[in-house]
Amino acid sequence: MKAFEYATALSPQSAQQMAAGNGAYLAGGNDLLGLLKEDLAGPKTLVNIKSLPGLDLIQPGSGNWTLGALVTVGEIERHPEIRNVFPGLHQAAGEVGSLQIRNVATVGGNLAQHSRCWYFRHRDILCLKKEGELCYARHGDNRYHSLFTGNKCISPVVSNLAVALAALDGAAIILREGKETRMTMAELYHQAWEHATAHNSLNPGDLILRVEIPTARNRSAYLQVSDKHEFDWALVSCAAAARIEDGKLRQPRVALGAISPVPYQVAAAHDFLEGKTLDENTAAQAADIILKGAEPHEFNGYKVPMARALISRTLLKLKG
């Protein structure tokens, strides 16, 4: 671990000023401390943001909810109203790590976490994501890697909350160069789709302030499959959300995790589902549309049928 200065910020603006140049923000620290120990991050200044006022609040609203970036995943899991209004988000939170991790992991940290690819995490391997020349996963052990990508890196997004928020049309509010910028989940991860070295679309010094979630979709669900029943990363995850009117889907959304560097969504599937009555055949057709063009590698072909089954099961959960 490299030496660094440590400072506590009392406002988002002062946090951004202290992190300018080569700094990093510390909240729960689950991801950052691992990066520091493995010499994958070497900030000049570590800025403690745990005391930033107002960023630990959950604020309900008739048309929109706000979750501060310092709200813990455990608080989302335990919040009775979130369980009722956004069950998919509640279910996604409950799948994050262990109870101990959920009690310190924050919304902002979960969204901003870096790749879990073992080639990236290995301190002695200079992979494509670390500005090397090769994505070693493409011709190596790729059992946990992407089926879709817009660049040569096949490391997938691992944030549970991002997948659930994508299905709910949630957005992150970012403090960028002193101004608040709104990013949809697609925008928050777009750079990771385009560029191998990116984990997300955050620039150095960008600070996630909160997420905003519209209440337009009154049904949502999240499912994932992992090697272990608890305390494990998803092999494939799926979130779905919609408004149900007279038994028909309105504004349906489906997002997949762990199969792409972004929460993977296909607009054609949303168009197909609009106005449909949910049944097994409709869900299966939507899965076929979403997974069209998947490019499995030597060891992750199992993800295609797994994703197909998860899409169907998650959509059918919307029926209640």
For residue 87, the model assigns a pLDDT of 98
| Gap between the Cα atoms of 58 and 37, Å rounded | 32
The pTM assigned to this predicted structure is: 0.97
Q: Give yes or no for residue 6 having a pLDDT over 80.
A: yes
Q: Are residues 207 and 167 in the same domain?
A: yes
- Any residues with CB less than 8 A from the CB of 100 and at least 6 apart, and which? none
| Gap between the Cα atoms of 19 and 214, Å rounded | 31
For residue 231, the model assigns a pLDDT of 80
> SS3 helix, strand, coil % of the chain, rounded to 5?
35, 25, 45
Residue 130 placed within a domain: no
% of the chain surpassing 70 pLDDT: 100
Q: Are residues 46 and 169 in the same domain?
A: no
Q: Where do the DSSP E strands lie in 129-193?
A: 171-176, 179-184
- Give the tens place of pLDDT for each residue, 96-153: 999 999 999 999 999 999 999 999 999 899 999 999 999 999 999 999 999 999 999 9
- Give the tens place of pLDDT for each residue, 184-218: 999 999 999 999 999 999 999 999 999 999 999 99
Residue 28 placed within a domain: yes
Q: Are residues 202 and 284 in the same domain?
A: no
| Gap between the Cα atoms of 223 and 208, Å rounded | 26
- Letter for the amino acid at 136? Y
Residue 107 placed within a domain: yes
The answer to whether 217 and 241 have CB atoms below 8 angstroms apart is: yes
Residue 9 placed within a domain: yes
Q: Which of 214, 237, 263 is the last residue of a domain?
A: 214
Q: Give yes or no for residue 230 having a pLDDT over 90.
A: no
Q: Give yes or no for residue 320 having a pLDDT over 80.
A: no
Nearest 5°: phi and psi at 277?
-90, 130
Residue 1 — pLDDT band, cuts 50, 70, 90?
A: confident
- Give the tens place of pLDDT for each residue, 289-302: 999 999 999 999 99
Residue 21 — pLDDT band, cuts 50, 70, 90?
A: confident
Q: Which of 53, 68, 97 is the last residue of a domain?
A: 53
| Gap between the Cα atoms of 149 and 234, Å rounded | 18
Residue 2 — pLDDT band, cuts 50, 70, 90?
A: confident
* Stretch (H or E) spanning 29: none
Average pLDDT over residues 244-261: 97
For residue 139, the model assigns a pLDDT of 94
Average pLDDT over the chain, rounded to whole? 96
- Give the tens place of pLDDT for each residue, 59-97: 999 999 999 999 999 999 999 999 999 999 999 999 999
Which CATH number fits the domain that encloses residue 244?
A: 3.30.390.50
Pairing of strands 207-214, 64-68: antiparallel
Q: Are residues 166 and 272 in the same domain?
A: no
Q: Based on the structure, what is the number of domains in the chain? A: 3
Q: Are residues 224 and 210 in the same domain?
A: no
Domain that holds residue 305: 219-317
Alpha-helical segments (H) within the chain: 12-19, 30-37, 73-78, 80-85, 87-94, 99-102, 107-112, 118-121, 160-167, 185-194, 267-273, 280-291, 303-317
Q: Which of 214, 229, 254 is the last residue of a domain?
A: 214
Q: Are residues 101 and 202 in the same domain?
A: yes
Which CATH number fits the domain that encloses residue 106?
A: 3.30.465.10
Q: Are residues 66 and 15 in the same domain?
A: no
Q: Are residues 68 and 43 in the same domain?
A: no
By the 10 Å C-beta count (0-12 exposed, 13-18 middle, 19+ buried), 47 is classed as buried
Q: Are residues 64 and 195 in the same domain?
A: yes
Q: Give yes or no for residue 232 having a pLDDT over 90.
A: no
Q: Are residues 185 and 64 in the same domain?
A: yes
For residue 203, the model assigns a pLDDT of 96
- Give the tens place of pLDDT for each residue, 271-291: 999 999 999 999 999 999 999
For residue 122, the model assigns a pLDDT of 93
Residue 6 placed within a domain: yes
Token pair of 241 as six digits: 């959300």
Residue 57 — pLDDT band, cuts 50, 70, 90?
A: very high
Q: Are residues 254 and 160 in the same domain?
A: no
Q: Are residues 267 and 208 in the same domain?
A: no
